[in-house]
């Protein structure tokens, strides 16, 4: 017998970092209250990550696991578009920690704003008090039926909730490529959402933790994050250092010029 139709279809993109993926999976299952299906698309990760996904699928944490032979970046999301069944499609990176009722909170915003097409689980201002290092995002506050979102003309990141109609009208994910790095082009995706007559917005409060932007996580796996920022030509290592300094931290460099750590300024 076919399983009930989900309200939300979650597509989680995985590329190594199994310790982060585990936290994302556990928090998602513990905190999601709506009828939901969880599909993990792995972008050619190493054996440790693949084993974790296989175990999580056997344990019922994952409904469907798809293993791609190579890293296809954000384009890997498109593999799942024909098979997702939810009224809403939730895209997730593998470094997110979901909070209780995150899903019902975001669904309430879609009910209050019929024109809303894409919504971030994050608010415009980073959670600096929890160690998040990012930039403050612009957005115009809009209220309806006791709900508030911040409408933006820019992108809202990869992790987001989208009306199924957006995909039915042909929106697809593309990449920004730099060497082995294939970053989801979230600005391009948000532009496609707006191009189809929908609004794009940040939520008014964080309903999930953005762990991949926290200093504590960067310190745990610094070479990974330094390489990632170096590949982001629009930010670079200099931009990473400026963001850290604005948040009270700074990069520490070794004698050979390599990044060796992060120190607190105040």
Q: Are 215 and 262 within 8 A, CB to CB?
A: yes
Q: Could you tell me the residue ranges of all domains in the chain?
A: 8-211, 216-264
- Percent of the chain at pLDDT above 90? 89
**208-235: per-residue pLDDT in tens?**
999 999 999 999 989 989 998 999 888 9
205 vs 108: CA distance, rounded Å: 13
Q: How many CB atoms lie within 10 A of CB 200?
A: 27
Calculate the alpha carbon distances from 248 to 125, 158, 228, 245 in Å: 16, 26, 21, 5
Second-level CATH architecture of 8-211: Alpha-Beta Complex (3.90)
pLDDT value of position 1: 45
pLDDT in tens, 232-246: 888 999 989 999 998
Model pTM? 0.95
Quick: pLDDT tens for 37-61: 999 999 999 999 999 999 999 999 9
Residues 225, 88: Cα–Cα separation, whole Å? 31
Residue 97 to residue 154: CA distance in whole angstroms: 24
Query: Helical H runs in 130-171?
Result: 164-168
């Amino acid at each position: 017998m076919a399983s009930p139709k989900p309200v939300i279809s979650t597509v989680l993109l995985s590329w190594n970092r199994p310790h982060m993926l585990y936290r994302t999976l556990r928090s998602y299952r513990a905190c999601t209250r709506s009828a939901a299906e969880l599909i993990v698309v792995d972008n050619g990760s190493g054996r440790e990550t693949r084993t974790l996904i296989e175990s999580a699928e056997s344990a019922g944490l994952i409904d469907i696991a798809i293993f791609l032979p190579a890293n296809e970046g954000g384009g890997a999301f498109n593999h799942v578009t024909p098979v997702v069944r939810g009224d809403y499609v939730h895209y997730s990176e593998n470094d997110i920690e979901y909070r209780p009722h995150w899903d019902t909170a975001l669904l309430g915003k879609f009910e209050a704003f019929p024109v809303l097409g894409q919504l971030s689980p994050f608010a415009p201002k980073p959670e600096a008090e929890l160690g998040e290092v990012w930039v403050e995002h612009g957005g115009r506050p809009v209220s309806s039926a006791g709900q508030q979102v911040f409408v933006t003309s820019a992108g809202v990141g990869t992790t987001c909730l989208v009306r199924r109609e957006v995909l039915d009208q042909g929106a697809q994910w593309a990449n920004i490529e730099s060497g082995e790095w294939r970053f989801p082009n979230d600005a391009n995706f948000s532009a496609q959402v707006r191009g189809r007559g929908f609004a794009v917005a940040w939520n008014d409060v964080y309903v999930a933790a953005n762990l991949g932007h926290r200093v504590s996580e960067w310190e745990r796996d610094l070479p990974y994050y330094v390489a990632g920022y170096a590949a982001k030509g629009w930010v670079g290592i200099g931009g990473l250092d400026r963001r850290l300094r604005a948040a009270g931290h700074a990069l520490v460099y070794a004698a050979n010029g390599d990044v060796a750590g992060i120190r607190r300024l105040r």
